[in-house]
Structure 1
Amino acid sequence: RFERLLHASLWGNRVDLSLPVAAHLGSNRSKEAERENLLVDDTQAVWEHLQKVEPAQIAFLSDNSGTELLMDLALADFLLSERLASSVTLHLKPQPYFVSDTMPQDVFDGIEVMERGEERTRALAGRIQQHLNSGGLRLSTHWFYPTSLFYFQLPDDLRADLAANDLVIVKGDANYRRLHGDAHWPYTTPFDYVVRYFPAPMVALRTLKGEHAVGLSAQQVEQLPKQDPDWLVNGKRGVIQARRA
């Protein structure tokens, strides 16, 4: 179940590309394509890390509102309900950088939408509200998030805040590019090396929508442009890349 929810949190990021993409999420055909298009999958490493540190203090560096946010909330609920996490903090933007960026009000709007859904969805909304009421689920904003600064330029207070976590889940293409300085690293550069400065164990969930990538194999770098000239930018492929330090 952890794998399913982590992957849903990844692929939910594609929804900001187009409504037709959203329509195909969850279909059997899309599940098969998702497995094929997941270029790096460190899910097992993340799970093993959580087993060692549970109950963990976990932070999400959130990306899009809407479907992606709902997938993130479902994952947060699982982590808290299964006592894999003692607390989950959603790091949100105080104002948007992109129109789809998640702000605190979007969380409450998402709960309201789920309360109008089917029974299981309403139950999830109730648990999320309980997590908020108990302090297990927390919402945080910082002036840094809607800026153009990179993550190696974290201000001291935010660096200390993130360093206190056992796992930071970094969401989306824009956050991923901020991790590696929006630079054209060689595609085979190890992910661990690029993010070695990050102050906590972390995993990046990214669908590829920009002409940057790291942590790929030489075979992938050779074959992907032949299979799909737009593989870097069309959002069809994703990565789940963990920094194990």
Structure 2
Amino acid sequence: MEVAAYLTEKAHSVSVVELEEVPFKKFFGERVGRAIMKMFENNRVKFYMQTEVSELREQEGKLKEVVLKSGKVLRADVCVIGIGATPATGFLKQSGINIDSKGFIVVNKMMQTNIPGVFAAGDAVAFPLALRNNKKANIPHWQMAHIHGRIAALNMLAHGTEISTVPYLWTAMFGKSIRYTGYGEGFDDVVIQGDLDELKFVAFYTKNDEVVAVASMNYDPIVSKVAEVLAAGRSIRKRDVE
């Protein structure tokens, strides 16, 4: 989506093909996803949802057309394929280091693997997330990699420091910034304040009546304030934001 937003000023036309019915549905929920989708449509981006690419056609060694499963044919000079990422940890399979079913290196609160003196950090690890009762999580974002490296280094120097940071990330599209804090995986409801149509809102993601993540656009500094509350070890209930 960031690439699509960037290309609107460079390309004749931009199309997004997606399996879901709205972009960002798993991450931001359907209502926020639709608001962002509308923002993209207002900037000339076309969406082809709930379908996938079945064929790429070339002419004289260059991409010419993208054929969708629906039969729709899109003229294209460039195709950017976002298929996710898997950790390149295969080389550790015979090492004795504990790796989970998804290929992530499992570490404790000190970023240490199951082998004493061996530490791991960054996108390739699953670590205990304090604000979700030490559930093992993988968060491939630069802020998290920074703190991982710091905690790992401190513990290599025998400082006995545990990771307790709150995830905080942001993205910018069409000059508008979306900020996000917490860990919303598995949220069961979304409480929205503000105006989605005006792209000025804050969305509270809840699970079992507890706020587990918050996203906002043009609603600063609410996300930073929530991050401070979570970092202090305090919880926010659903009724507090309703």
TM-score (norm 2): 0.26
As a proportion of its length, which structure holds more helix?
Answer: 1
For the pair shown, which has the larger CA radius of gyration, 1 or 2? 2
Structure with a larger share of its residues in strand: 2
Report the TM-score when normalising by structure 1: 0.26
Structure with greater contact order relative to length (CA < 8 Å, sep ≥ 6): 1
